[in-house]
A and B are shown apart, each in its own frame.
Chain A
Amino acid sequence: MAVENRDPAVHLDRGFWLVTALLAVLSALAVYATIMWHPENMPQLPEAAIPADQVDQLFKFLTASAAVIFIYVVGYLVYFAIAFRVRASDPPDAVGVQIHDHHQLELWWTIIPTVFTIVLAIFSVKIWAGVQFASPNNGLVVEAIGHQWFDDFRYPGVHGIVTDEMHLPLGVPVTLHVTSSDVIHSFWLPSMRIKADMIPGMINTLRFTPTRAGTYPIICTEFCGTLHGTMNKQVVVIEPQANFDKWLAGWKGKNKNASDAIPVAGTGTVNLTGGDAAAGQKIFAQKCSACHAVGPFSQKIVGPGLKGVLHDPAHPKLVNGEAANPEDAAKILQKGYDGDMGHMPNASQNGISDKDIANLVAYLNSLK
């Protein structure tokens, strides 16, 4: 028996080709079903922002390819297991066809997955670049700050924090900076198909453009303590812009006298005249650079990056919701800061004099 099988000519029988054809039909059906699937129509998971449709395209591409691979692998697996099972009529020492390898076949099933992987990589990189680098210039800049177990928001022009749901105008590009005041949270907008971890001491940025009015969930997906499962909020995409402006104006009014705008009482007492930017730069290197970078806002070390803090209109207005002025900076330098963005020691803790503050403010003012 065994001897006959020793040097076989590979022969694929009719059953094999029938099964291959059947699997082709099944694969075609699966691909068709994937293409016909419209996630944007699903009530649970609408496509509500610009990258969402692209992510779904990627998902459909992956699902169609995976379905074909899975159907063929499992189809052949089951068919071979049944078709080549040992029969009662076989002698007990019957052996299978003794082939060790088939170089052409192996070459093909190396090349085809490689090509597939390269296609997938190109496709992914294209979408990835769209998600990462689509940085709008004229968009809305919002901040989300995670706490155990809720999110707060900051909007330009609003004193203090917004404790409401997150509201966004339809069709306006959003740059969302996320961070945390305690442990790691994650900010997931399932309907927008994006997510970033909220990490204490670090700022991550999400960019998207809401394309569909409605209310969608915000979910924390990084374990953050006892009530992690309940840490949900909502994002409300408003149309038209006027309604959003009304909502924002409401918060501006509500928080007008919010004491946490600058979480220190009173006005500064430092005389800022005669500040020397060069001297300020030296003090900055000694006293400030441990926590602040001379870079964009998002380049956070312990506190935010301070480039253009007194000039850049796109710089998130962390200080009091309006363009920060030199007096604000001086006040924080003098009295310290203790708020959602963290803790900064006051002047005596930092060991800086009033003269140093004047120099530092002059230096900060020179950063454009």
Chain B
Amino acid sequence: MAISVSQIPHGDPNVDQLYAETRDLRLNGFLLFMVSDLVLFSSIIFAYLYLRNSGQGWPPPGFSRLDVAFAAFNSVVLFGSGVTMHFALENWKHGNFIKFANWMVATIVLGAGFLSGQGYEYWTLYQKMHVSWSGSGIFGASFFTLTGMHGFHVFAGVIYLTVLLLQATNGKYTQHKHFGLTAGTLYWHFVDVIWVLLFSIFYLF
């Protein structure tokens, strides 16, 4: 909900307008940052699809398919963290700060769980199928580059959310002034949504 001056009853109008306008700038800037990050992903995805369709067949001969069931489980973990993040922000907006903290902790735990799952998947691929980043042709190159890039985003997101949780408990945000939390939620949803795309193109189609 955009904050306009009229919704803040007791503030100094100048300061509140400054906050509203600054918030608007930051929101737009952050969304545009997400757009450019999306372009970064889509370029590498284009590269992957281009190589995948270059006639070698997919998965390339010599590689068996990825473990879809485990990936589905791990995806659900990540998607679930998106839902908990949504509840965290909703609770903050309604002033339920304790519930907010609980949902945030759940989000962080699920995010870390997804990372562990991905680590397990990498380990299995490397140990059992001898798939590596540089030694497995375009299969290893595109799979590890894209999922690794995404994993790095999740990792950064877990740290980001932890910092936000600490800031929130230290009283940096108020019920109406919490752009940091909004940005964190946007970022986390972005990471989830990218995974919908990566999950589809690597495991499903």
Contact = CB atoms under 8 A, between A and B. Distances in A.
Interface of A: 285-287, 289-291, 293, 299, 301
B35 to A, nearest CB: 32
B61 A301 contact: no
Nearest to B55: A301
A6 B57 CA distance: 71
A289 B61 contact: yes
A342 to B, nearest CB: 14
B66 to A, nearest CB: 18
B54 interface: yes
Nearest to B54: A301
A287 B54 contact: no
Given A285-B57, A290-B61, A291-B56, 8 more contacts: A286-B61, A287-B61, A289-B57, A290-B56, A290-B60, A290-B62, A293-B55, A301-B54
A301 B60 CA distance: 13
3 residue pairs, one from A and one from B, having the closest CB atoms: A301-B55, A290-B61, A290-B56
Interface of B: 54-57, 60-62
A265 B64 CA distance: 36
A203 B93 CA distance: 61
Contacts of A291: 56
Nearest to A201: B54
A301 B137 CA distance: 14
Contacts of A299: 55
Contacts of B62: 290
Q: Tell which of B55, B56, B60 has the most Cβ of chain A within 10 Å.
A: B55
Contacts, number: 17
Contacts of A285: 57
B135 to A, nearest CB: 16
Contacts of B55: 293, 299, 301
A114 B105 CA distance: 61
Nearest to B57: A289
15 contacts: A285-B57, A286-B61, A287-B61, A289-B56, A289-B57, A289-B61, A290-B56, A290-B57, A290-B60, A290-B61, A290-B62, A293-B55, A301-B54, A301-B55, A301-B56
Contacts of A293: 55
Nearest to B137: A290
Nearest to A202: B54
A346 to B, nearest CB: 16
A90 to B, nearest CB: 46
Q: Tell which of B54, B60, B61, B62 has the most Cβ of chain A within 10 Å.
A: B61
Contacts of A301: 54-56
A94 B60 CA distance: 75
A299 B54 CA distance: 11
A285 B57 CA distance: 9
Contacts of B54: 301
B4 to A, nearest CB: 37
Nearest to A292: B55
Contacts of A286: 61
A24 B90 CA distance: 72
Contacts of B61: 286-287, 289-290
B58 to A, nearest CB: 10
A289 B56 CA distance: 6
A262 to B, nearest CB: 25
A186 B127 CA distance: 43
A328 to B, nearest CB: 24
Contacts of B56: 289-291, 301
B53 to A, nearest CB: 11
B197 to A, nearest CB: 26
A320 B57 CA distance: 29
A92 B71 CA distance: 76
B55 to A, nearest CB: 4
B64 to A, nearest CB: 12
A304 B137 CA distance: 19
A286 B64 CA distance: 11
Contacts of B57: 285, 289-290
B69 to A, nearest CB: 24
A290 B60 CA distance: 7
A343 to B, nearest CB: 15
A287 to B, nearest CB: 6
Contacts of B60: 290
